[in-house]
């Protein structure tokens, strides 16, 4: 067993690959993520969105064309990123990826019917979300999705790349593994001026328990073994929280902490929750 404060490290490509590849994801999706990592690795600058959108383009094209993600031509990726799809102004990938996810049996939030929807569906939903005006009868259209913004950034980067170029790129690193975090005290969401404690959705217990991070999926298991999936907990912020925890103990892959303070989604992902005066 080792005891230490976790070191502050940047969000690496291996971290981003791990975020996109939960253990439960199908092999074809994991291949798409690794292929996207290989494509973007030479100019990697921490752009999670670009990695996810590229992976969805490879996964979608492979399914549509009856091939593997690693064999998808770069021209097909560019084609799916063109901004002439539906909803208006969105990339073609917006609808195409949703159709492929449905065909491959992924559980998407819009068709939620009990149980937990999978991590790939979570990432897709966040990418295609479009802000809706408060007045539904007004003339203001929905705002552009994160997928559209990412496609605009990606297309110039992919311009001029050939399949021969891509084959010459080194393989992407192995994805970072998930986390099992045993918490002795509480798991709390923190902003700069508020603290809210995560509770078990079954027994309302709020002390102790285990937090697991598997790709984008974060789940809380209370001391009575009830499972809660709290949408307020985001994987990247939970991992960053370990960097600020005192006396982190690591024993055979299990991380043990006293209190786990996690930055709220309204704060920067690497916000230091100890700066909150209420902590």
pLDDT digits (tens, 9 = 90+) for 196-220: 999 999 999 999 999 999 999 999 9
Contacts with 79 (C-beta within 8 Å, 6 or more apart), sequence order: 92
Angle between helix 48-65 and helix 13-20 axes, rounded to 10 deg: 50
Does one domain contain both 131 and 248? no
Distance CA 238, CA 232 (A): 10
**Any domain includes 5:** no
| Final residue in a domain of this structure, among 167, 189, 215 | 167
248 occurs within a structural domain: yes
Low-confidence ranges of the chain (pLDDT < 50): 1-9, 111-115
pLDDT of residue 192: 79
Q: How many angstroms separate the CA atoms of 230 and 218, rounded?
A: 7
Q: Do 119 and 198 sit in the same domain of this protein? A: no
Q: What would the two tokens of residue 233 be?
A: 């907990």
Q: Are residues 111 and 137 in the same domain?
A: yes
Does 62 lie in the same domain as 125? yes
Which pLDDT does position 10 carry in this prediction? 65
Give residue-wise pLDDT tens across range 33-71: 999 999 999 989 889 999 999 999 999 999 999 999 999
28, 149: one domain: yes
Same domain flag for 153 and 243? no
Q: Is 260 exposed, middle or buried (0-12, 13-18, 19+ CB in 10 A)?
A: buried
Kindly state whether residues 117 and 213 are assigned to the same domain: no
Is residue 144 in some structural domain?
yes
Q: Are 116 and 218 part of one and the same domain?
A: no
pLDDT for 4: 43
Closest CA to 175 of 24, 26, 7, 30: 30
- Residues 186, 135, single domain; the answer is no
The answer to whether residues 228 and 107 belong to one domain is: no
Residues 153, 51 share a domain: yes
Q: For residue 36, give its domain range.
A: 13-167
The answer as to whether 8 is a domain residue is no
Number of domains in the chain: 2
In the block, which residue shows the tokens 């990697």?
44
């Amino acid at each position: 067993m080792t005891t230490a404060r976790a070191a502050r490290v940047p969000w690496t490509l291996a971290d981003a690959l791990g975020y996109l590849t939960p253990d439960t994801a199908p092999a074809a999706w994991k291949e798409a993520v690794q292929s996207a990592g290989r494509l973007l690795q030479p100019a990697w600058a921490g752009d999670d969105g670009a990695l996810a959108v590229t992976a969805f383009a490879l996964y979608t094209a492979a399914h549509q064309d009856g091939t593997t993600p690693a064999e998808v031509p770069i021209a097909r990726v560019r084609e799916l990123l063109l901004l002439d799809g539906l909803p208006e102004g969105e990339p073609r990938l917006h609808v195409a990826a949703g159709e492929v996810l449905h065909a491959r049996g992924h559980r998407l939030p819009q068709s939620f019917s009990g149980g937990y929807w999978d991590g790939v569906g979570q990432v897709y939903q966040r990418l295609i979300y479009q802000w809706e005006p408060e007045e539904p009868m007004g003339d203001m259209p929905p705002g552009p999705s994160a997928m559209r913004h990412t496609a605009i950034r990606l297309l110039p980067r992919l311009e001029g790349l050939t399949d021969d170029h891509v084959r010459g790129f080194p393989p992407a690193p192995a994805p970072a593994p998930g986390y099992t975090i045993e918490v002795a005290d509480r798991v709390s969401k923190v902003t700069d001026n508020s603290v809210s404690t995560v509770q078990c959705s079954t027994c309302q217990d709020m002390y102790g328990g285990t937090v697991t991070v598997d790709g984008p999926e974060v789940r809380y298991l209370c001391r009575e073994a009830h499972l809660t999936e709290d949408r307020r907990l985001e994987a990247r912020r939970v991992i960053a929280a370990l960097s600020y925890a005192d006396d982190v103990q690591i024993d055979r892959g299990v991380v043990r902490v006293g209190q786990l303070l996690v930055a709220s989604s309204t704060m920067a992902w690497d916000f230091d929750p100890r700066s909150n005066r209420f902590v």
